[in-house]
A and B are shown apart, each in its own frame.
Chain A
Amino acid sequence: MIGVINDRCDFCGACVAVCPVDCIDLYEARLVVNKTCIDCMLCVWICPVETLAPLETIEEASCATTTTA
């Protein structure tokens, strides 16, 4: 499962564009990775500002909540 470090995100949508299973929602100022995530890492790699990372590597304090699909 991939998580979001929300204060890094600038809401550009690159991650949504490469996601093969359409599991990322981008709102005006909120990014949500849904539980249908398959851990393919494409969004992690394409993000220009290192907003996304495997959930277990993100410190809880800066991690946004994830929701079900």
Chain B
Amino acid sequence: MRDYYDCIVVGGGPAGAWAAKHAAENGASVLLLEKDREVGIPVRCAEAVGEAGFKTVVDPDPRWISTVIDGAVLIAPNGREVVVESETTRGYVLDRKIFDYDLVHMAARRGAEVLTKAYVYDLIKPNGAVEGVRVQYLSKQYDIRTKVVIGADGVESRVGRWGGLRTNIKLKDMESCLQMTLANVKVDPRYIYLYFGDEIAPGGYLWVFPKNGEIANVGLGVSGEHARHKSAKHYLQEFIGKHFPNAAVLYTVVGGVPCAATLKNIVGDGLMLVGDAAHQVNPMSGAGIVTAMISGKMAGRVAAQAIKENNLSEKRLAEYADTWHKAEGKNHERFYNIKKAVYKLSDDDLNATAEAVLSLPAEKRTLMNIFKSALVNHPSLLIDVVKAFMKND
């Protein structure tokens, strides 16, 4: 570890690894700091990605893929099942431990230095602009100087807060998530299963993502507003007791997923935020791997260029924020507004939607048609959706 790097990335998840890789590849000297002893562990993710989106950010290595998914089974509160299967519903359930290792390895191959067990506890910013980080490493404290810090430190983003960007998330926009990786789960591994309903996961949904050999990630997200009355743990235990009473729990994953639009300010003088730290998660689905890598790449490239120009002002780094907003951020605002509308649907509305969709021929059961059916059954939703689109155009 030296006392200066052009760019310091805090956090070794997909956003951080990709930011480090792209900054290094574009000529910056990069240090990646991870607070845990290993990258990829503990897993804080349900591990599913859509194939099309994933392939836009990286060439999938078969070692990362636990299961290939053909489609989704959506289960209404009354138990009615709707199968959605088409080219656009193909996806993977990943093995994040292997995947995260490889992403950081790719950053290292481009020249980024990587340090694990390195806990960043403050930023150095004597004159307002960020000029370095304070790290605790093996019981000693170090000041490391830099031109730009990229905060990829997850949902809790302390880096953003120290840098003056409000990264705190409102309770209503946070999903309280819990997942158990279960053995002895017999489900058709070609599908993922999504359960909806107030009894199962109010303000969110429950997922069953099959992995190799009768193993599945079974988890749920409950919106913060509902979690205050009954915790995610209670909902998940109830579901597993009912549906998989003979399952063995191999692994437990806990997490908070920021399901809001992207933070208003994701750059400052000498500072950029990427991934969960910037709230760059799809607010409808809670999916964040691909978007984290998209933003990591954007931030890494802009950082490297800005370093060459020796201009790390908020204004210069805003190129990253603008690029993000045009490519993804705008969509996330729409998804956020749609999410707010959809979560108003009652269990009866959802059941009626399932019936309407089941009356369609199988090849017409696309996500868009499901959404249309929801609109027909719940006309007031249409007004919310129109508002959602109008607001951002």
Instruction: Tell which of A18, A20, A27, A46 touches B119, judged by Cβ atoms closer than 8 Å.
Output: A27
Interface of B is mostly: mixed
- Say whether B253 contacts A46, CB under 8 Å: no
Q: Number of A interface residues, CB 8 Å?
A: 23
Question: Cβ of B119: which chain A residues have Cβ within 8 Å of it?
Answer: 27-28
- Residue A16 at the chain B interface, CB threshold 8 Å: yes
| CB contact list, A1-37 vs B, under 8 A | 10-20, 22, 26-28
- Residue A39 at the chain B interface, CB threshold 8 Å: no
Instruction: Tell which of B168, B177, B227 touches A17, judged by Cβ atoms closer than 8 Å.
Output: B168
- Residue A64 at the chain B interface, CB threshold 8 Å: no
- Say whether A46 contacts B258, CB under 8 Å: no
Instruction: Tell which of B117, B154, B227 touches A13, judged by Cβ atoms closer than 8 Å.
Output: B154
Question: Cβ of B178: which chain A residues have Cβ within 8 Å of it?
Answer: 48-49
Question: Cβ of A10: which chain B residues have Cβ within 8 Å of it?
Answer: 42, 252-254
> Given A17-B174, A28-B36 in contact, is the A45-B224 Cβ separation under 8 Å?
yes
- A45 nearest CB neighbor, chain B only: B228
Instruction: Tell which of A12, A22, A27, A50 touches B256, judged by Cβ atoms closer than 8 Å.
Output: A12
- Say whether B254 contacts A46, CB under 8 Å: no
> Given A12-B254, A13-B154 in contact, is the A46-B168 Cβ separation under 8 Å?
no
**Selected interface stretch from B74-82, B156-164, B282-290, B313-321:** B156-164
Question: Cβ of A16: which chain B residues have Cβ within 8 Å of it?
Answer: 155-156, 158
CA distance A47 to B255 in the complex (A): 8
- Residue A42 at the chain B interface, CB threshold 8 Å: yes
- Say whether A46 contacts B174, CB under 8 Å: yes
> Given A13-B155, A27-B35, A42-B171 in contact, is the A49-B231 Cβ separation under 8 Å?
yes
Question: Cβ of A45: which chain B residues have Cβ within 8 Å of it?
Answer: 171, 176, 224, 227-228
- Say whether A14 contacts B167, CB under 8 Å: no
Min C-beta distance of B157 to chain A, whole Å = 7
Min C-beta distance of B38 to chain A, whole Å = 10
- A41 nearest CB neighbor, chain B only: B228
- Residue B364 at the chain A interface, CB threshold 8 Å: no
CA distance A16 to B169 in the complex (A): 9
Question: Cβ of A20: which chain B residues have Cβ within 8 Å of it?
Answer: 168
- Say whether A26 contacts B171, CB under 8 Å: no
- B224 nearest CB neighbor, chain A only: A46
- Residue B233 at the chain A interface, CB threshold 8 Å: yes
CA distance A33 to B286 in the complex (A): 27
- Say whether B233 contacts A19, CB under 8 Å: no
Question: Cβ of A17: which chain B residues have Cβ within 8 Å of it?
Answer: 155-157, 167-169, 174, 256, 258
- Residue B232 at the chain A interface, CB threshold 8 Å: yes
Listed from nearest, the 10 A-B pairs whose CB atoms lie closest are A14-B256, A13-B156, A16-B156, A45-B228, A48-B232, A10-B254, A48-B178, A12-B254, A12-B255, A17-B155
A-B contact pairs, 12 of them (CB 8 A): A11-B254, A16-B158, A17-B167, A18-B169, A18-B174, A28-B37, A42-B171, A45-B176, A46-B256, A48-B177, A49-B254, A50-B233
Known: A12-B44, A17-B156, A17-B258. 15 other contacts (CB 8 A): A10-B42, A12-B255, A12-B256, A16-B155, A17-B167, A17-B168, A18-B169, A18-B224, A22-B158, A28-B35, A28-B117, A28-B119, A45-B171, A45-B228, A48-B231
